[in-house]
Amino acid sequence: MHSTGKPVIRLRRNEWDRRMNAKNLATPNARAERLGFSRTTVARIEKGETKPGYEFIAAVLDAFPDVRFEDVFEVGKVAS
């Protein structure tokens, strides 16, 4: 059965936190500095208030070559 709704990309928060903590990036400030984004932007993405855009996703994949897209992001659906 085909799922309705628009596809969205979301952060897999538990896996994201686990991987960032393992890299000694335990705070939004540390993560923001490493990725080149504001702390506010990173915190909003982590809380699910803002969906990660292509620039954020590209920054994550560039900064952490050992992290694959599917390790920390997932594609879901939102009601249309």
Q: Please indicate, yes or no, whether the overall pTM of this predicted structure exceeds 0.85.
A: yes
> Could you give the number of structural domains in the chain?
1
In a domain, 31, yes or no: yes
The residues pairing with 6 across neighbouring beta strands, listed in sequence order, are: 78
Query: Tell me, what DSSP letter sits at residue 66?
Result: T
- Does 78 map to a domain? no
Q: Does residue 41 lie within any of the structural domains?
A: yes
pLDDT tens digit sequence for 5-30: 899 999 999 999 999 999 999 998 99
60: domain range? Answer: 16-64
Q: Which residue spans within the chain are E strands per DSSP?
A: 6-11, 73-78
pLDDT digits (tens, 9 = 90+) for 24-57: 999 989 999 999 999 999 999 999 999 999 999 9
- The neighbour count for residue 45, using CB atoms within 10 Å, is 24
- The per-residue pLDDT for 63 is 97
Residues contacting residue 79 through CB under 8 Å, at least 6 positions apart: 4, 5
What was the pLDDT predicted at 2?
A: 58
Give a yes or no: residue 76 inside a domain. no
Is 49 inside a domain boundary? yes
pLDDT of 66 > 90? The answer is yes
